[in-house]
Amino acid sequence: MEFISPDLIKRIAQKYGFTFKKGLGQNFLTSQEVLEKIADAAEIDGGGVLEIGPGFGVLTNELAKRAGKVVACEIDDRLIPILDDTLSEYDNVRVINRDILKTDISAIIDEEFDGEKISIAANLPYYITTPIITRVIEARLPIRNFVVMVQKEVADRIAAQPGTKDYGALSVLCQYYAVPELVRIVPAGLFVPRPKVDSAVLAMRFRKKPAVEVRDERMFFRVVKAAFSQRRKTLLNCLAASFCSGKEQLSAVLDDAGIDPRRRGETLSLAEFARIAELLT
């Protein structure tokens, strides 16, 4: 494939009479430098990669150079013959025409990669950003790392630290299983068509074991969900509303955990959430 540029993306679209569908989040990346950054951050080193939404195959091209095998899952059947053409020089790429949200990713890893640990890389369509990240993270798949281009605001939320406005349940979920790193901010002008907001490349390296140890993960995430349920309320009020328990009892639990019940949920670290969950388990 030629060096990627806005002109090349427009020429491919013209050649195949392709029109971009906003509803499928089709904002294609036009920067060779950013594509290489995403592929490098995936730390593939000859391993397997699952790509979500290959589009014209510009990222697939960079992944294929570094991987033993790439499986690229694309929902739009108009792109399948185009991908056949743009990726024809590679024999280690398999394109599947499916909706990733209706696909069993664990089965793909078993069938296509013999259950080996893989990387997942994607310039994610905006409309499925949070559901797909949540699904991949929660499924406990055999993944080394997960590199995604997302709206900058989502990347900020995932990497946010306690006490900041962006810190929320999504930050805790991702940081519990992985170490997120903001690789690069990508201005809206580097996509065709141009989206309304800037994006960012986020690399999430999966931890060998979760960031904190808890006996009951469901209780841990219940506490997290409760703590962020009403941002203006104190931690005690949020927990009391979600757990339907007496405030005195919960106040004693927070005391035992060494946490001031008047604090807001968004100031708690993962270790503090874990302490509360342990006492409630």
Work out how close the CB of 141 gets to ligand SAM at its nearest, in angstroms, rounded to a whole number. Answer: 16
User: CA 14, 16, 22 angle in degrees (round to 5)?
Assistant: 75
Is residue 59 a contact residue for ligand SAM (CB under 6 A)? yes
Q: Which of residues 168-207 bind ligand SAM (CB under 6 A)?
A: none
| Cα distance between residue 209 and residue 184, in whole Å | 26
Can residue 29 be called a binding residue for ligand SAM (CB under 6 A)?
yes
Q: How far is the CB of 132 from ligand SAM (least distance, A)?
A: 8
The contacts of residue 185 (CB under 8 Å, 6+ apart) are 152, 198, 199, 200
Q: Which of 39, 44, 63, 75 binds ligand SAM (CB under 6 A)?
A: 75
Residue among 39 and 227 whose Cβ is closer to ligand SAM: 39
201/223 with CB nearer ligand SAM: 201
193 preceded by a cis bond (ω within 30 of 0): yes
CB atoms within 10 A of CB 89: 9
Which of 1, 12, 18, 27 forms a contact with ligand SAM (CB under 6 A)? 27
Which residues are CB-contacts of 32 (< 8 A; sequence separation ≥ 6)?
A: 3, 4, 5
Residue from 1, 12, 18, 25 in contact with ligand SAM (CB under 6 A): 25
CA distance 205 to 194: 29
Kindly tell me which residue out of 54, 168, 180, 261 binds ligand SAM, with binding defined by CB under 6 A.
Answer: 54
CB of 113 to ligand SAM, least distance (A): 18
Q: Which is nearer to ligand SAM, 28 or 206 (CB)?
A: 28
Q: Does residue 58 belong to the site contacting ligand SAM (CB under 6 A)?
A: yes
- Residue from 28, 146, 176, 228 touching ligand SAM (CB under 6 A): that is 28
First to last CA, the chain: 55
Closest CA to 252 of 273, 226, 280: 280
Interface characters, 92-131, with ligand SAM (x: CB under 6 A)? -------xxx---------------------x-x--x---
Asked whether position 83 contacts ligand SAM by CB under 6 A, the answer is no
Among 12, 62, 67, 76, binds ligand SAM (CB under 6 A): 76
> Which residues would be at the binding site for ligand SAM (CB under 6 A)?
24-29, 52-55, 58-59, 73-76, 79, 99-101, 123, 125, 128
